[in-house]
Amino acid sequence: MKCIKCEENAVISLSRHNAGFCKEHFTEYFHRQVEAAIKEYAMLKTSDRIMVCVSGGKDSLVLWHILNLMGYKTAGMYVSLGIGEYSLKSKAKVVAFAEKHGLEAIIIDLDEEGCPIPLLAARTRRNACSVCGQVKRHYFNKVALDGGFTVAATGHNLDDEAARLFGNVLRWDTKHLAKMSPVLPEEGETIKRKVKPLIRLPEREVAAYAFLNGIDYIPDECPKSRGASSLKYKEVLNELEASSPGTKHFFYGEFFRAAADKFPYVTNEEDKDNLKKCIKCGAESYLDVCSFCRLTEKLNG
């Protein structure tokens, strides 16, 4: 196959576009897709200080790379989860990437903080992914506030968001359908605006960009995510995409055109007067002790 732009040999074929690209024009195409998402949803301003939530995987490192190339002011924020060899490898990838490109990396190590995910999950007898999400949200909000960041960017791609939408529709989870937008507004003092600039790009294209541009990442899935329902939803959507290219893009995009307004996002503006400061960590909370501190209290119980 030849590149649709220059007739050089293509390095990747994109079935959903019925096109192939050489390295140069695939990179150009990829950047345009990110720029289009940022513009369509008014995600970022040039004045923003962006906290890129990185994991050491391809999506977040590719996002950090591109936002840096676009001239945005960024820093990578990484939470080492305390999951043995997996956490050691992923942390090394983040540190190496930051050093290679001269970027700022903010590292939170849960082993050093005394609340690694495996220990928290065992003590609370809760699902590790649920515990992980709560802990990461706490540190993302804390670092964003302390560091003066105006927005948090995550590397969720089209496959991630289509699978999440698929799961929410199967359960008709109206609360989470209301949070499907790739831009969520800030709430209160600590919860910053959240954006997902890779939502137009499937996982395969993100992986190709990383390979072609020499971005070294950890290819392993988190060992605690095995059996997660999101992985099953991705498998189903991948089968549909193989037989009908463009299915994921259409499914996700049409939700916003035809149905998203039926599930409006509701902020807690009316409850602002009820917000307090957690007496332990100072985070905003509706209770005297925030959910994160109540969770970590179990380690001493």
Q: What CATH number is associated with residue 35?
A: 3.40.50.620
Write down the pLDDT at residue 272: 61
Residue 2 lies in a domain: no
Share of the chain above pLDDT 70, in %: 96
Residue 19 lies in a domain: no
Residue 43 lies in a domain: yes
Q: What is the mean pLDDT of residues 162-182?
A: 96
On the 0-12 / 13-18 / 19+ scale of CB atoms within 10 A, 141 is: buried
Q: What is the pLDDT of residues 233-281, one digit of tens each?
A: 999 999 999 999 999 999 999 999 999 999 988 765 555 667 788 999 8
Q: What is the pLDDT of residues 50-66, one digit of tens each?
A: 999 999 999 999 999 99
The domain tally of the chain equals: 1
Q: What residues make up the domain containing 195?
A: 24-273
Residue 210 lies in a domain: yes
Angle between helices 203-212 and 58-69 (to 10 degrees): 60
Residue 217 lies in a domain: yes
Residue 171 lies in a domain: yes
Residue 140 lies in a domain: yes
Residue 240 lies in a domain: yes
